Amino acid sequence: MREQVRQQFDVVHEKNVPMKTRDGTTLYADVVRPDIPGRLPVLLTRTPYGKDTSMLNNEGSAFFLARHGYVTVVQDCRGRFTSEGEYYPMVNDIEDGYDAVDWAARLPWSNGRVGTFGQSYMGASQYMMARNNPMPPQLQAMIPVSAAADYYQGWVYHTGGAMLWGWAVPYAVLKGRNTLERLGRDDLLAKMDEYVEQGTNFSQPLREEWFRHVPISDWAELLKETAPYFEDYINNSDDGEYWSQVNVNHNAKNISVPMLHVSSWYDIFLEGALNGYQSVKSDSEHTQARRGQKLFIGPWGHLFPFVQPTSQGTGDIDFGPEALVDLHDLHLRWYDYWLKDFETGVMDDPPVTVFTMGENRWQTLEDWPPPNANYVRWYLHSDGKANTLNGDGSLSTVPPGDEPTDSYLYDPDDPVPTLGGANLSIPLGVQDQSPVENRQDVLVFTSDPMERPLEVTGPIKVHLWAASTTPDTDFTAKLVDVRPDGYAQNLQDGIIRARYRDSTTTPTLIEADRVYEYTIDLWATSNVFLPGHRIRLEISSSNFPRFDRNPNTGARFGDDAVMQTANQTVHHRGEFPSHVLLPIIPR
């Protein structure tokens, strides 16, 4: 290894450089390279949003990395903007990604060593390159940012089987605009504008009536030209072979490349970084890949900026000056080590870096999940009236005795509204949850105030014993940090569709009024409950439009035009000890 030396160069911008895929389709890329002689490592990203748009910002990643001695390639995915072919998300990015790496390694400015970069879809397309077996031999370093590794349980649907409704439909509409432009369908472009509040971008969601439109299967017809793949999403509501092809965790043993997985606590695709890191580190057959996995989690929402992500950018909370980091610098340390053989110190750092909210500080960990976490059960208690934040629900480490049940009516026509969270296309991040906690269909369980700081860092699961009067339904959970002034800060949330309580691949309906154990995955967080703060857990059956509404009928997903109400009963006593399992870090 050599000592890291950073230089900056003028750059040359080559436009519309063609590449032929193995099936003869021509894809086009822009190349930004240092204006110096010689061959250099290449950094590749592949986008469905238009490379020309990416190139409008000459302070963006492609130009920044090129100025620091890399040939950067920004390629339009198949069927998008300048590239030929038909667009089908992720599936085509597997072989096309392999071909793009092989082509980039042979460019006249390349020394044959290739890395990848990119955020969101451009992060997911990196994970798709890792689905190749074997992976491209020229590929030596990757940094997937804000991307799902499991396309079923992290992008279209959610862990627990509900569709990410507030994201999936607006996103299909957004990307469909280019599809219709390529087809010359100005009539449908005008029709699409009826779906949204103003124009079509990530911050402008569907009109309320379109979010609520049923049956869901109608969207297959509405989007048949705009996003024809959406019908496949609806028809494959169970996990299985269709989704396995785009699940990088299923290929972890074959992954041979070091990866820096980057995400944030309020990122809709947090699952990808957490599971991608764990699956490759534990399952890869390649020593360098196992040793070369790093995880970096900040406090932001999705699409955080690379240069000094804002300390605020996640709803109501300002996470302070410590949240300001330069991710471009982190990228250079990674690439310079793996692609230029510079000693940057990046591999001397502990493998995991996370931002701990509450105390608003960064900390490093020896692994994920944190090896020193103690998993403590915080049990649900009440005298049968836990409805609303003014009810008698409580949360403690004392196991329940012979306690009455709590009940509420879940009406899909009047769902609990989404207030922030790990969203995209609808408002995201931190919001005060008090408005939804005033609803009768939300059970609220709150601890006593903390006497000393309590750190929760790691994965979180709720084990809920509950019954319903319907053959299928949903149960939701939300972990909340309640400040002394009453502000209820959402930390993480999750959902379980009753039919998927045992398996997302083999659904089974439930018997009316029978008590089942449901496991609700809240993914993970890192938060210190400060003195005077309280831990709160909300239990309900909807979080809309973040998740689609369960119509409670037990019919095939998407078929229902009419919904029915469900009477829900939550148990917490010796036989049915409902609780949230929190990873407590000893102090």
515 lies in some domain: yes
pLDDT confidence of residue 313:
66
**pLDDT tens for the chain, residues 1 to 587:** 777 778 899 999 999 999 999 999 999 999 999 999 999 999 999 999 999 987 776 667 999 999 999 999 999 999 999 999 999 999 999 999 999 999 999 999 999 999 999 999 999 999 999 999 999 999 999 999 999 999 999 999 999 999 999 999 989 988 988 998 998 988 888 777 776 655 444 445 567 778 899 999 999 998 999 899 999 999 999 999 999 999 999 999 999 999 999 999 999 999 999 999 999 999 999 999 999 999 999 999 998 887 777 776 689 998 999 999 999 999 999 999 999 999 999 999 999 999 999 999 999 999 999 999 999 999 999 999 999 999 999 999 999 999 999 999 999 999 999 999 999 988 899 999 999 999 999 999 999 999 999 999 999 999 999 999 999 999 999 999 999 999 999 999 999 999 999 999 999 999 999 999 999 999 999 999 999 999 999 999 999 999 999 999 999 999 999 999 999 999 999 999 999 999 999 99
Contacts (Cβ under 8 Å, ≥6 apart) of 560: 214, 215, 216, 551, 553
pLDDT confidence of residue 179:
92
186 lies in some domain: yes
Identify the residue whose tokens are 């040939």.
Answer: 71
pLDDT confidence of residue 200:
41
Among 189, 210, 236, where does a domain finish?
236
Same-domain pairing of 186 and 265: no
Same-domain pairing of 41 and 102: yes
Angle formed at CA 337 by CA 331 and CA 343, multiple of 5 degrees: 120
Residue 347 phi, psi dihedral angles, 5° rounding: -85, -5
Same-domain pairing of 171 and 203: yes
Amino acid symbol at 183 = L
pLDDT confidence of residue 53:
85
Same-domain pairing of 389 and 364: no
Same-domain pairing of 471 and 574: yes
Same-domain pairing of 331 and 358: yes
CATH number of domain containing 524: 2.60.120.260
Same-domain pairing of 299 and 398: no
Same-domain pairing of 274 and 358: yes
Give the separation between CA 295 and CA 33, rounded to whole angstroms.
29
Amino acid symbol at 136 = P
Contacts (Cβ under 8 Å, ≥6 apart) of 59: 307
DSSP one-letter code for 550: P
Give the separation between CA 467 and CA 406, rounded to whole angstroms.
11
241 lies in some domain: no
Among 311, 334, 368, where does a domain finish?
368
pLDDT confidence of residue 202:
45
Same-domain pairing of 277 and 226: no
Contacts (Cβ under 8 Å, ≥6 apart) of 151: 90, 124, 243, 246, 247
pLDDT confidence of residue 526:
98
287 lies in some domain: yes
Same-domain pairing of 508 and 408: yes
Give the separation between CA 148 and CA 271, rounded to whole angstroms.
6
429 lies in some domain: yes
Residue 248 phi, psi dihedral angles, 5° rounding: -65, -25
Alpha helices per DSSP H over 223-304: 230-235, 241-244, 270-283, 287-291
183 lies in some domain: yes
SS3 per residue for 474-520: EEEEEEEEECCCCCEEEEEEEEEEHHHCCCCCCCCCCCCCCCEEEEE
Domain extent for 303: 143-155+249-368
32 lies in some domain: yes
Residue 42 phi, psi dihedral angles, 5° rounding: -110, 140
pLDDT confidence of residue 349:
96
CATH number of domain containing 301: 3.40.50.1820
β pairing state of 534-540 and 474-482: antiparallel
**What Cα–Cα distance (Å) separates residue 118 from each residue in 236, 520, 560?**
28, 31, 39
| pTM flag (> 0.85) | yes
Give the separation between CA 576 and CA 464, rounded to whole angstroms.
8
Same-domain pairing of 362 and 275: yes
Give the separation between CA 568 and CA 409, rounded to whole angstroms.
6
Query: What domain count does the chain have?
Result: 4
Please list the active-site residues: 120, 267, 302
494 lies in some domain: yes
DSSP one-letter code for 77: P
DSSP E strand stretches across 21-96: 26-34, 40-47, 71-76
Among 368, 388, 416, where does a domain finish?
368
SS3 per residue for 518-547: EEEEEEEEEEEECCCCEEEEEEECCCECCC
| String of DSSP letters for 108-154 | TTEEEEEEE--BTHHHHHHHHHTTSSSPPTTEEEE--BS--SBHIII
Contact 445, 378 (CB under 8 A): no
Residue 152 phi, psi dihedral angles, 5° rounding: -80, -60
DSSP one-letter code for 228: T
pLDDT confidence of residue 201:
44
Same-domain pairing of 221 and 299: no
